[in-house]
Amino acid sequence: MTLQKPQKVFIFICIITLMSLYVVLPAKIFNFQVPRINFQIGSLDLSKPIDLKEGLDIKGGLQVTLSADMKDIAQGDRATALESVKTVISRRIDLFGVSESGIKTAVSGNDYRLILELPGVTDSQQALDLIGQTAKMQFALPIFTPGKTATESSTLTGFTPTDLTGADLAKAAVTFETQDRQPGVSISFKDSGKTKFAKLTKDNLGKPIAILLDGYPITMPTVQVAITDGNAQITGKFTTEEAKALAVQLNAGALPVPVSVLSQKNIPATLGADSIKKSVTAGAIGLSMVIFFMIAYYGRLGLIASIGLFIYGIITLALYKLIPVVLSLPGIAGFILSVGMAVDSNILIFERYKEEIRGGRAWKVALELAFGRAWNSIKDANAATILTGLILFNPLDWSFLNTSGSVRGFAFTLVLGILISLFTGLVVTRNFLRMFYKEKSKTNDENKKL
């Protein structure tokens, strides 16, 4: 026997819910060990529980404001230089082990700043020593150890520094003037570096030259010809984004910008723990009141809608862990607000259903019409909120819009919550009502309308 469409959708909803529940559950519930499957997708390992990423205001840590000294940088190169410094410091703090860090730039007149948020950092001096250094670029020759057999490839074991450094590099930029018209990176050297680079390329034809930034190899192109004019191209089947990223890294060494600490603020974890406890308590009370109201006012309709809200919460939490979303107090506020939007959709549908019943429709017909006719109101309300959320999130990073990390966190969880609520409201709740909600027909005339 083939399954009808509502049954197929129901099975799909059950699969999605069970998968989300697996992601959400901790390793152990009381004395029960939750079974795990040995499954990995890329860097995502599902064989062990996935933790929520907590923001600075919840986890505690260090907030640092840095000032970038641009006095030796030309006015037209300062924006590129600041972005280069941001990239370098971002990699440094990632290597320091702060994977949920936040870093943003702020420019006001001739004042160039970077604002760093380092959740979980307790050794503030070590962090400041790491991030408060000027980027150092060096050109080096890689050292390879030959394989023991003919079939084994050589192994990179280190680098031999040369006298060519980032101080000799004038600028790097993305170019499409390559032989295959694919994105590449053009580099040009100052007079101090032209002779050095010419000798380096002449002595190493057919061999790779590594470019190190803070001792980390960012690229290792192979020399094709000797270059005497100080202008070269780095090619390698880059995408446009990869070429831009490489140019930014090269400019970090070509345009070295000293940074100094303007201020630092330690945020204790106890403050975050207390805040999140109150937020979770408030959210639990609010959600309980919403569920109580829905069941008390709408009866079985409200009970089914509450089950849909529960599934909404499970899916949302699973996506928070998988994306991952760095959860902050404004982010929790965005989630709670999206719960209210989800309830609004159900109320619009149920009130429309009552109107159709009062108009003499059979309950099955009234239910379908309620979803169809309430959609315009739901669509308009949610579209307006999503548009506002996108403006607050500022995905294109426009300077005339908001750039605050906390506001963006609120906007992201709000928009994500609304999109999930549309799915649970119009797919999950609707399908559950089709399958499990029954209402006795009052007249034969109503039966004829089905």
SS3 content of the chain, % helix, strand, coil (to 5): 50, 20, 25
3-state secondary structure (DSSP) of residue 345? helix
Q: Is the pLDDT of residue 131 over 70?
A: yes
pLDDT at 439: 77
Class of domain 138-237: alpha beta
First to last CA, the chain: 24
* Cα–Cα separations (whole angstroms), residue 309 to 198, 380, 392: 67, 21, 26
**Where are the domain boundaries for CATH 3.30.70.3400 in the chain?**
59-136+259-266
pLDDT at residue 428 is higher than 70: yes
Given phi > 0 = left and psi -120 to 50 = alpha, else beta, which region is 226? beta
Is the predicted pLDDT of residue 409 greater than 90, yes or no?
no
Sorted by sequence, the CB contacts under 8 Å of residue 167 that are 6+ apart come out as 190, 192, 193, 256
> In this structure, are residues 294 and 343 in contact, taking their beta carbons and an 8 Å threshold?
yes
Check pLDDT > 60 for residue 184.
yes
- Can you list the alpha helix ranges (DSSP code H) found in 394-443? 405-423, 430-436
Specify the domain boundaries for CATH 1.20.1640.10 within the chain. Answer: 5-53+268-448
Closest C-alpha to 322, from 18, 45, 118:
45
Looking at 28-37, 88-97, 138-147, 252-261, which range is the least confident one?
A: 88-97
* Percent of the chain whose predicted confidence (pLDDT) is above 70: 89
- How much is the mean pLDDT over the chain? 83
Positions of E strands within 51-167: 53-54, 61-68, 102-108, 111-119, 137-145, 155-165
> Could you give the CA distance from residue 306 to residue 429 in angstroms, rounded to a whole number?
9
88, 214 in Cβ contact below 8 A? yes
Predicted local confidence at residue 152, as pLDDT: 62
Please name every residue paired with 115 in a beta bridge, in sequence order, or none if there are none. Answer: 65, 104
State how far the Cα of 377 lies from the Cα of 81, in Å rounded to an integer.
Answer: 48
pLDDT at 229: 93
Alpha helices in 114-268 (DSSP H): 124-131, 191-203, 240-254
Confidence (pLDDT) at 1: 37
On the question of pLDDT at 170 being above 60, the answer is yes
Per-residue pLDDT for 404 more than 60?
yes
CATH 2.10.10.90 given to domain 59-136+259-266: no
Closest CA to 320 of 334, 305, 340, 304: 334
Tracing tokens 């100052």 back to the chain, one arrives at 190
Could you read off the pLDDT of 334-379 as tens digits, one per residue?
888 888 888 888 888 999 999 999 988 888 899 889 998 898 889 9
pLDDT: which is higher, 290 or 447: 290
Counts of helices then strands in the chain (DSSP H, E): 13, 17
Helix H, strand E, coil C: the string for 20-50 is HHHHHCCCEECCEECCCCCCEECCEECCCCC
The per-residue pLDDT for 95 is 62
| DSSP β-ladder status, 184-189 and 169-175 | antiparallel
Residue range 5-53+268-448 in CATH 3.10.180.10: no
Q: Where are the alpha helices (DSSP H) in 96-154?
A: 124-131
The pair of structure tokens assigned to 428 is 């999950």
Please, where in the chain does CATH 3.30.1360.200 lie?
A: 138-237
Q: Flag whether pLDDT at 284 surpasses 50.
A: yes
**Tens of pLDDT, residues 104-118:** 888 888 899 998 888
Contacts of 449 (CB under 8 A, 6+ apart): 361, 362, 365
What is the crossing angle of helices 405-423 and 363-393, to 10°? 160
Which phi-psi region, left, alpha or beta, contains residue 23 (left: φ > 0; alpha: ψ -120 to 50)? alpha
pLDDT digits (tens, 9 = 90+) for 190-243: 998 999 999 999 999 999 999 998 888 899 999 999 999 999 999 888 888 889
> Which tens digit of pLDDT belongs to each residue from 73-84?
888 888 888 888
| Residue 255 bridge partners (DSSP) | none
